[in-house]
Structure 1
Amino acid sequence: MVGDLVAVFDGVTHPADLHNGCMHTPAWYVRRLTAQLVGAYGEAPDAALPDLLARAIEAVSDEHRGTCDLSHPGTPAATACVLRAGGDHVDYLVLCDSPLLLDVGDRTDVVKDTRFERIANLRRAASVPGTGHVERLTAAASHKWEYINQPDGYWIAAADPRAAHEAVIGSAPLRGPGHVRRAALLTDGASAAVEQFDLFGWARLLDLAATAGPAELIRRVRAAECADQHGHVRTRYKRHDDATAAVCLFEGNPG
């Protein structure tokens, strides 16, 4: 978080035996993207969120285009969920599978980019039965590359700044009827509490994160991951998915 801007990113992990044309790790990419977004925001705090993210993506690309093949579809990448509060409203941006929750009093709005989920469902439907777990995940990862940052696929922060302008964007009021009281920015490792493990609904997730804190939300996800010996985590490359959550409270704003 910097100023009125808060964001969560989730680096994309591939099986270790898949070459992606880059010498850098997803963790490196997320660190650099975060730093570049902070820099872009510092220079133009009122710029549209897609413009800020596009500038950050381009700046990170400039940092390693001389050493890495940025044209490779597996080049380091990250999902993004960004929110900025200003005056009487919040602006938001969601790119790939890191959802945003908005508590507007009588309901919890879920802002999602469903394109990755659609492609993931297509890949699962086309998976070859009878293959081993590792072989199936490796094949799925390489197949996924066909859809990255394509009009008929899904968009993610990687090397192409155009992806930022394909994000799901919007705004919501901070004052008046239906104003936002709280918000939660989640990576898919945190949203798995609802989407994979069905521990509770979106409203309860936001309540838990806002009252007990994001650490308690992630603790419950970790417990569910450990208890799930043969279920949902079998679709991952690792048992414990990276999980990040950020909570914003706007309770002081008048209704």
Structure 2
Amino acid sequence: MYVSVATEPGGAAPNEDWVGGTQSLAIVLDGLSTAGLDTGCRHGVPWYVAQLGGHVMAALATPARSLTDGLAEALEKVARLHPECDLRNPGTPSATVAILRERPEHFDHLVLADSPIVLEGTDGITVLTDLRVDDVCQDLRVETEQFQTGTPEHRASVARLVAAQRKIRNTPEGYWVAAATPEAASHALTGTVDAVDVRSAAVMSDGVSRLVTEYRMATWETLLTQLRDSGPAALIRTIREVEATDPHGQRWPRYKAGDDAAVAFCSFA
């Protein structure tokens, strides 16, 4: 498997996405926004995703280990790195997770929250994602979309939404993300597909997938074609050009004018 990667912050703030790849792994993490609220952690989201990404890759260096077990081990080890922080805080740094692993004759995949994996196969496109977060706090989401991006009203609305999401994050009544406890790994969506059915694949944060799902300025087929022809960095530049046409989120309501973006494109000989 040949993996090419790119990531870029959505603005002046540090990048809270993380991407990594090897000859058999492609991993994307999308750090969750804190909206300026307390996290109980002195390190921050960029530190968290960098630590978690490295530990996930190390845990999955053994091909026989399941993706779920590897993620659980990584979550436990990262928690041990900062015991002085309040890891019980509902806003403790957290992230979505998307993993694709090549093994002889098949691919394993894991998604935890809304960073998708897109498979191009002999029968078309398959999108693997976890959209449980879309089922919660819908009234606050609608409220946030009423305001122009970047206004004080919009920032206050995003903070209310994030505060409400935190109360049900990593609970049976809410949705699951990677945070401070290994339990979240058992709630990821996992599966296996035959290698002969996969021609290419892309693992991405929602800062990339929104080009298709929210902006509707591409299809999955054209997105994969651009990745194949021009590479991940060029795709992210395209997303920035699209976002620049709607800087205040009036055509496409969103939390930020530009979201952090990360993508790993997987091709095969």
**1:41 aligned partner:** 60
Specify which of 213, 225, 230 is matched with residue 195 of structure 1.
213
Specify which of 195, 199, 203 is matched with residue 174 of structure 1.
195
- Further displaced range: 89-98 or 206-215: 206-215
- Further displaced range: 191-200 or 51-60: 191-200
Which amino acid counterpart does residue 19 of structure 1 have in structure 2? D
**1:96 aligned partner:** 113
2:202 and 2:264 in contact (8 A); partners too: yes
For the residues of structure 2 that align with 1:14 and 1:195, how far apart are their CA atoms?
23
For the residues of structure 2 that align with 1:129 and 1:2, how far apart are their CA atoms?
42
| SS of residue paired to 2:261 | coil
For the residues of structure 1 that align with 2:180 and 2:163, how far apart are their CA atoms?
18
Q: Which has the higher strand share?
A: 2
2:247 and 2:257 in contact (8 A); partners too: no
Q: Tell me: CA distance 1:129–1:111, structure 2 relative to 1, closer, same or farther (3 Å).
A: closer
2:63 and 2:103 in contact (8 A); partners too: no
| SS of residue paired to 1:54 | helix
Q: Are 1:144 and 2:165 an aligned pair?
A: yes
Q: Are 1:7 and 2:24 an aligned pair?
A: no
Which ranges of structure 1 fall in alignment gaps of 5 or more residues? Answer: none
Identity %: 36
Which amino acid counterpart does residue 35 of structure 2 have in structure 1? P
String of CA shifts for 1:196-218, please: whole Å, max 9, x gaps.
Answer: 21111112212211222111211
Q: Tell me: CA distance 1:120–1:210, structure 2 relative to 1, closer, same or farther (3 Å).
A: farther
Which ranges of structure 2 fall in alignment gaps of 5 or more residues? Answer: 1-20
- Further displaced range: 201-210 or 149-158: 201-210
For the residues of structure 1 that align with 2:146 and 2:225, how far apart are their CA atoms?
40
1:133 and 1:234 in contact (8 A); partners too: no
TM-score, structure 1 normalization: 0.89
2:96 and 2:114 in contact (8 A); partners too: yes
Which amino acid counterpart does residue 6 of structure 1 have in structure 2? A
Q: Are 1:53 and 2:74 an aligned pair?
A: no
Query: Offset of 1:5 from its aligned partner?
Result: 1.5
Q: Which has the higher contact order (CA 8 A, sep 6+)?
A: 2
Q: Tell me: CA distance 1:51–1:181, structure 2 relative to 1, closer, same or farther (3 Å).
A: same
Q: Are 1:76 and 2:73 an aligned pair?
A: no
1:111-122 to 2 correspondence within 5 Å?
111-119=128-136, 121-122=138-139
- Further displaced range: 130-139 or 99-108: 130-139
TM-score, structure 2 normalization: 0.85
